[in-house]
A and B are shown apart, each in its own frame.
Chain A
């Protein structure tokens, strides 16, 4: 059975760091009234490539599978099907021990810094642990931990404090420092600013941007906030109900969205400008995103789509090129600007 979302946009090149093909995750659904549980297809045939030093934004609404995708990439979740290749090595089925050399290049930043940092450990311990696992001496690890704090804009004298002694923004800086400890080449950041106060988000966005440039990191930035993603990413992939519905250069996707869902999503984002808000034409979608336990037939967006025709109800569209710049959309009636 193939759920291929069609081959990914960019062909494999020397600079391809991460290559994801046909990635699928199903979870057991709940049993209801003795009927056998149906499986929930949270991620359904996702494919993309990420080049070294590149930033890809993965956007979509709750339940679209963006976080599940991110977790599979770093092997926090086991894919049901498909492959993840890092640096030309298939890591999908490596044991945790075999994975260890790759781990240092593949790190993650989480949404809630307080939940992802051990409250009983000092910052020194939190930052040293990945280094100790990689075989560094305790002394060298502590020295590196101090460097890392400085790198993320914290006072290295605070090494012996605990996470709760830091504000939310500072705690997220520690989470970022931990991800950087082993000198990774790719960081998966899952909603790294959405738990922070508005006035603090910009600090973290700027920090990530600076680090990404300075260290030449590849970044997979998972977020529901389209403005933040536009800010930080080179390319963007829009997910809906477990599938990528549009992917491409951010200017192509933001300035001339091809998929009706991308268009609606962008038009729904409120602008902090009352005059612009009054001028704007909004596409207000009907209904809620459907449940991945009972996906609609054909194109899963068709029940909410203003353009839906018969073919949309019956036949699932594959990702296909729309316009130039390597942009692809999965729609029978894409807008080619």
Chain B
């Protein structure tokens, strides 16, 4: 069994990931040079809006893209996933890494009982007998907080409420004790009171099992609640990466700043109008040469001609910003206060390693 207890091998290490889809008419670069790591027992929040590439990234880690050109490196506990055969991958999927999707109903088969579906992975990966696997499924349902688990295991997905279904999907994902859990908008389809339950459940299971969690979400509130580190994506690229407190206290990328300023908060006074980001997220089909955020960036718009030209023409690379922090921006926020100019920033992303 490959070990992820060695301190120098992170649980999941993604380097310079590129995912490209070819259609007859065009080639779409959905993810363009993303790098990150997820450590055991930690949660990385992958934040972005529609089209930012966050879900494409998570599907690439799981090896779920059928017709995509993928390059770079995805290593799970030191083992390169991109060079594995389909068969090798399917032995890892559900076993070492598992995924929870936004819509629990589409992740469950309507014609099998919930118990059968949870038992199936156990039987497949461990060769467990039918009875033992069923007993384990009941235990798992109990562990994710489903009352009367023995009875509920015999029910079908349609007999479960939305929150219960997502609990069942989590039970299924964790039934083979994976090291990595990828959760793609796991609470977006749920009500806010149920969302609170599910987030709490994932946090508890993570602590008990030392799970590495990759949490994909568009909700900065969810990120603030569960993530240890955050990667903000925009237009298929990394905008910035930081420990969660640093990111919210002092965002470095103008996009992150703009996002934080534009969401209404429950604990805010509400007299001033919300600050907005002009325009809408970019189309991946017609990428621009420079920073994907440049057309909406007020900082670029207010800069001198020469610097503005850099923003629109030259792609910013993720660069060292502060310990544990990277930002891909020609005009990051807060740099003057630190006494360095944008040109002093170290290139490329060696610091992140």
Q: A286 to B196: give the CA distance in the assembly, Å.
A: 10
Q: Does B191 contact A (CB under 8 A)?
A: yes
Q: A7 to B275: give the CA distance in the assembly, Å.
A: 39
Which residues in chain A, 214-244, are within 8 Å of chain B measured between CB atoms? 224, 226-228, 230-231
Q: Does B113 contact A (CB under 8 A)?
A: no
State the majority secondary structure of interface residues on A.
Answer: helix
Q: Tell me how far the C-beta of A256 lies from the nearest C-beta in chain B, rounded to whole angstroms.
A: 14
Other A-B contacts than A203-B277, A273-B248, 4 sampled, CB-CB below 8 A, are A202-B275, A272-B265, A274-B245, A285-B193
Which residues of chain B are within 8 angstroms of A277 by Cβ–Cβ distance? 221, 224-225
Q: A299 to B276: give the CA distance in the assembly, Å.
A: 42
Contact of A266 among B163, B200, B262, B266 (CB under 8 A): B266
A-B CB contact pairs (8 Å), 15 listed: A199-B276, A200-B277, A202-B277, A227-B263, A231-B264, A264-B193, A266-B266, A274-B225, A275-B245, A275-B248, A275-B249, A277-B221, A277-B224, A282-B196, A288-B164
Q: A289 to B197: give the CA distance in the assembly, Å.
A: 13
Q: Does A33 contact B (CB under 8 A)?
A: no
Which residues of chain B are within 8 angstroms of A273 by Cβ–Cβ distance? 224, 248, 265, 267
Which residues of chain A are within 8 angstroms of B197 by Cβ–Cβ distance? 284-286
The number of residues on chain B lying at the interface, defined by a beta carbon within 8 Å of a beta carbon of chain A, is 47
State the majority secondary structure of interface residues on B.
Answer: helix
Q: Mark B139-164, 1 if CB is under 8 A from A, else 0.
A: 00000000000000000000001111
Contact of A269 among B194, B249, B266, B275 (CB under 8 A): B266
Q: Mark A200-217, 1 if CB is under 8 A from B, else 0.
A: 111101100110000000
Q: Does B107 contact A (CB under 8 A)?
A: no
Q: Does B244 contact A (CB under 8 A)?
A: yes
- Chain B interfacial positions (CB closer than 8 Å to A): 49-50, 161-164, 191-197, 199-200, 218-225, 227, 244-245, 248-249, 258-260, 262-267, 270, 273-278, 280-281, 296
Q: Tell me how far the C-beta of B284 lies from the nearest C-beta in chain A, rounded to whole angstroms.
A: 14
Q: A270 to B194: give the CA distance in the assembly, Å.
A: 12
Q: Does A1 contact B (CB under 8 A)?
A: no
Q: A282 to B199: give the CA distance in the assembly, Å.
A: 12
Contact count A vs B, C-beta below 8 Å? 138
Contact of B280 among A62, A169, A267 (CB under 8 A): A169
The number of residues on chain A lying at the interface, defined by a beta carbon within 8 Å of a beta carbon of chain B, is 45
Q: Does A114 contact B (CB under 8 A)?
A: no
Q: A170 to B263: give the CA distance in the assembly, Å.
A: 18
Known: A197-B280, A284-B197, A285-B197. A224 touches B265 (CB 8 A): no
- Chain A residue nearest in CB terms to B165: A288
Q: Does A271 contact B (CB under 8 A)?
A: yes
Known: A202-B277, A230-B270, A284-B196. A271 touches B224 (CB 8 A): yes
Is A272 within 8 A of B221, CB to CB? yes
Is A199 within 8 A of B258, CB to CB? yes
Which residues of chain B are within 8 angstroms of A285 by Cβ–Cβ distance? 193, 196-197
Q: A276 to B248: give the CA distance in the assembly, Å.
A: 11
Is B265 within 8 A of A199, CB to CB? no
Is A198 within 8 A of B161, CB to CB? no
Is B200 within 8 A of A270, CB to CB? no
Q: A275 to B243: give the CA distance in the assembly, Å.
A: 12
Is A205 within 8 A of B264, CB to CB? yes
